[in-house]
Structure 1
Amino acid sequence: MLYAFELSGEHQSLPVAEVLGTLTSRNLNYTVFAEYKQCLVADIFSETRSDNDIFQTLKDDISKVLAMSHTIFQVIDIVDVSEDDVLGLAENFPLDNYLKPGQTFVVRAKRMGDGTLLKSVDIEGRIGGRIFRRGFRADLSRPDVVFRLTLTDKAVFGVLVSAVDRGSYEHRSPQRKPFFYPGVLMPRVARALVNMAGVKENTIVVDPFCGTAGILMEAGLLGAKVFGVDAQEKIIEGAGMNMAGYSITGELLSKEEREKNQNESGPASCGRMDYELLAGDACRLPFKNEIADAIVTDPPYGRSAAIKAESLEGLYEKSFLEMYRILKKNGKAVVVSEIEVEKFAKNAGFEIQKTYKQRVHRSLTRTMTVLEKK
């Protein structure tokens, strides 16, 4: 069955990678049907799960964990972006498959950029009018069914599965956390990387350069067991303040609740994240072989003075060997860096799956490398 993911557009390819990584981690098979501007259409299927189960997984799970998508909807049809084609679709699609007698509806449309010929506000009313004349009543505030139209290279029309709450990530912006340190990843980027690594509930995630725990927090909020290591004790203390500062639902806790969490070990009854933080050396990680299901990390690029290696190159060489050692077979590592890391990854034994670039500002371009241990 075809599903569309309305993408945020904050990066050309990361949103697609995040969606596909999340589908894979939930054991959903897919083929990419089409990639349009800010819209991915995928045929999602499973040999063991029903269409209704897939729908519920998208609604109750995947839509709750994505960071770089706006909506997910089940595709009814895809037509050219023209008034005749879109309105013809509204008049002729099998409405009884999506609306039961007595149910209400609303139509919501979104334009991706300025290249479309149709204005989304106008087209909502005109599609709604066609559906109304087919015997169904509109309800703008509490409809039973939301029809979604995405106007991109094509007009993608369907039934809304769920909207992504992107605003929740703003509550975890670095400046709002109990401990702030500049130069860290924004929560939406950290969550996308975690999803690309296939993190989900009960997986074990390690960040050997955890800093203030921005990546670990996004993994912990998915229900993963997370381990963080950093060379600086004061940073580890700050990371502990951040991890103890939020509930498992991502809510910032009161000062009293934060202090209580910091004084307890393991996941507390209040529903905090399951984490362990250690001051240590990424070149000599204190973990057994193949303990981690996934590694997601943002190593220093020379801006940190607390490097327990003789050189930045030595740090990367030894830490990649350690990451390979502790990662389980078929596990993924996602590494963020300002420098190319392919040499270190290959020397350690990793296979390089994909590399992404993100221009942060004029003097900073991040490279995000997805690795796999075969």
Structure 2
Amino acid sequence: MLYAFELSGEHPTIPRSEVLACLSLENLDYEQTHCFDQCLLVDIRGNSDTIEAALVSVSGRLAMSHHILKVIGICANDVNEIIKMAAEADIHQHISSDMTYAVRARKIRTHARLHGEYLEKKVGGTIYRKGYRANLKKPDVMFRLLISNKCIFGSVVASIDRSAYEKRAPHKKPFFYPGVLMPRTARALINISGILPGKNILDPFCGTGGILVEAAMIKSHVIGMDAQSKIISGARMNLDYYSLDHSLMTGDATRIPLADECMDAIVTDPPYGRSALIHARSLNNLYSESMKEMYRILRPGSLAVIVSEKQIDEHSIKAGFKICEKHNQYVHRSLTRTILVLEK
């Protein structure tokens, strides 16, 4: 069956990778069919009830998506084509006779010449004429028109609570330090790492613990390390604020005090300034030696997701990693971060 993921658009490539990683974590048999502007279409094979239960679970992890739709139809982003598609659509698998409905349209960026409210009324009318009752305030089923390069028409299977991430913004935590990853980005990278609940994930440059908070929220066993004891104290304060289990230590990322192949994933955002040089002789040495340590403690086949403003491809390859994905994240005029997804 065909499902559509309504991507957030806050990054050109990370939202898609996050979705695909989460589908794999649920062991779904899927194939990507199309990726439009802020819309990923995926064909998922299997029992629809089982699939949709898994998609609800996926929605609880996702950060860079809005909704998951069960696709009814796809057509050109033309008013007449959209209304015709809705009128001819068989929607009995999406709504039963005793259920109410509402229709919402979302126009994406350059595809905004169409009038969303007009389409909502027209498409809603076609559903009404099929014998169903509308309820605009509390519908049993929400139909959605996603107007991208094409128009995707579907019913909402699950929605992502993005407001929860806003509540965990860095400045709203007890201990704040500027320049850290925003919670949605941190969660997306954790999802891309493939970590499962109960498995070990390490951030060897944990700072105030933003990555650890998001990993602990999905019940992973989080381990954090930082060179500065006062920062570790701040990270502990933040994790305790959300009543999350954690293991924290002050230490040197070029000599991580953990056994070989004991970590199931690593996600980290190494520091870029002088504070990083408490133990390392230079930033170059810090990256080179810490990469070797991360490779050593990671289990074979597992992933490390590294954020850096430096080019660290060579360090990664020399440490033994295979580069699986590379994402660029524009921060401001003088800073573009590179995010590498590395496999041992």
Query: TM-score if structure 1 supplies the norm length?
Result: 0.90
| AA in 2 matched with 1:187 | P
Q: Are the counterparts in 2 of residues 66 and 164 from structure 1 also a CA contact under 8 Å?
A: yes
Matched residue count: 344
Cross-structure match for 2:19? 19
TM-superposed CA distance for 1:163, in Å, is: 1.4
| AA in 2 matched with 1:351 | K
**Residue number among 187, 191, 194 corresponding to 2:187 in the alignment:** 191
Q: Are the counterparts in 2 of residues 81 and 116 from structure 1 also a CA contact under 8 Å?
A: no
Question: What is the alpha-carbon distance in structure 2 between the residues aligned to residue 223 and residue 361 of structure 1?
Answer: 33
**Residue number among 295, 298, 305 corresponding to 2:266 in the alignment:** 295
Q: Are the counterparts in 2 of residues 67 and 164 from structure 1 also a CA contact under 8 Å?
A: yes
Q: Are the counterparts in 1 of residues 277 and 286 from structure 2 also a CA contact under 8 Å?
A: no
Cross-structure match for 2:68? 72
Question: What is the alpha-carbon distance in structure 1 between the residues aligned to residue 288 and residue 93 of structure 2?
Answer: 57
Task: Say if 2:279 is the partner of 1:308.
Answer: yes
Which region of structure 1 is more displaced relative to structure 2, 25-34 or 282-291? 25-34
Cross-structure match for 2:251? 280
Question: What is the alpha-carbon distance in structure 1 between the residues aligned to residue 30 and residue 231 of structure 2?
Answer: 41
TM-superposed CA distance for 1:319, in Å, is: 0.6
Cross-structure match for 1:330? 301
TM-superposed CA distance for 1:325, in Å, is: 0.7
Cross-structure match for 1:243? 239
TM-superposed CA distance for 1:301, in Å, is: 1.8
Q: Are the counterparts in 2 of residues 351 and 372 from structure 1 also a CA contact under 8 Å?
A: yes
Residue-by-residue CA offset, 1:59-90 (whole Å, 9 max, x unaligned): 2x111111111111111111111122111111
Unaligned runs of 5+ in 1: 247-271
Cross-structure match for 1:56? 53
Cross-structure match for 2:110? 114
Task: Say if 2:9 is the partner of 1:2.
Answer: no
Q: Are the counterparts in 2 of residues 82 and 117 from structure 1 also a CA contact under 8 Å?
A: no
Task: Say if 2:315 is the partner of 1:353.
Answer: no
Unaligned runs of 5+ in 2: none
Which region of structure 1 is more displaced relative to structure 2, 294-303 or 330-339? 294-303
Q: Secondary structure at the match of 1:331?
A: strand
Residue-by-residue CA offset, 1:315-354 (whole Å, 9 max, x unaligned): 1111111100111111000000000111111111100001
Q: Structure 1 residues 78 and 305, CA, compared in 2 at 3 Å: closer, same or farther?
A: closer
Cross-structure match for 1:269? none
- Give the % identical residues: 48
Q: Where do residues 103-182 of structure 1 align in structure 2 (5 Å cutoff)?
A: 103-182=99-178
Question: What is the alpha-carbon distance in structure 1 between the residues aligned to residue 151 and residue 17 of structure 2?
Answer: 23
Which region of structure 1 is more displaced relative to structure 2, 98-107 or 354-363? 98-107
Cross-structure match for 2:208? 212
Question: What is the alpha-carbon distance in structure 1 between the residues aligned to residue 323 and residue 278 of structure 2?
Answer: 26
Question: What is the alpha-carbon distance in structure 2 between the residues aligned to residue 347 and residue 226 of structure 1?
Answer: 27
Q: Secondary structure at the match of 1:200?
A: coil
Question: What is the alpha-carbon distance in structure 2 between the residues aligned to residue 349 and residue 172 of structure 1?
Answer: 35
Question: What is the alpha-carbon distance in structure 1 between the residues aligned to residue 59 and residue 148 of structure 2?
Answer: 21
TM-superposed CA distance for 1:95, in Å, is: 2.4
Cross-structure match for 1:249? none
| AA in 2 matched with 1:318 | E
Question: RMSD of aligned C-alpha atoms?
Answer: 1.2
Q: Are the counterparts in 1 of residues 254 and 289 from structure 2 also a CA contact under 8 Å?
A: yes
TM-superposed CA distance for 1:306, in Å, is: 4.4
| AA in 2 matched with 1:79 | C
Question: What is the alpha-carbon distance in structure 1 between the residues aligned to residue 241 and residue 113 of structure 2?
Answer: 48
**Residue number among 205, 218, 224 corresponding to 2:220 in the alignment:** 224
Residue-by-residue CA offset, 1:206-232 (whole Å, 9 max, x unaligned): 011111111011100011000001000
Q: Are the counterparts in 2 of residues 199 and 222 from structure 1 also a CA contact under 8 Å?
A: no
Q: Are the counterparts in 2 of residues 333 and 371 from structure 1 also a CA contact under 8 Å?
A: yes
Q: Are the counterparts in 1 of residues 276 and 283 from structure 2 also a CA contact under 8 Å?
A: no
Question: What is the alpha-carbon distance in structure 2 between the residues aligned to residue 203 and residue 278 of structure 1?
Answer: 18
Residue-by-residue CA offset, 1:297-328 (whole Å, 9 max, x unaligned): 01122342543111111111111111001111
Q: Secondary structure at the match of 2:246?
A: strand
Question: What is the alpha-carbon distance in structure 1 between the residues aligned to residue 299 and residue 272 of structure 2?
Answer: 26
Question: What is the alpha-carbon distance in structure 2 between the residues aligned to residue 221 and residue 198 of structure 1?
Answer: 14
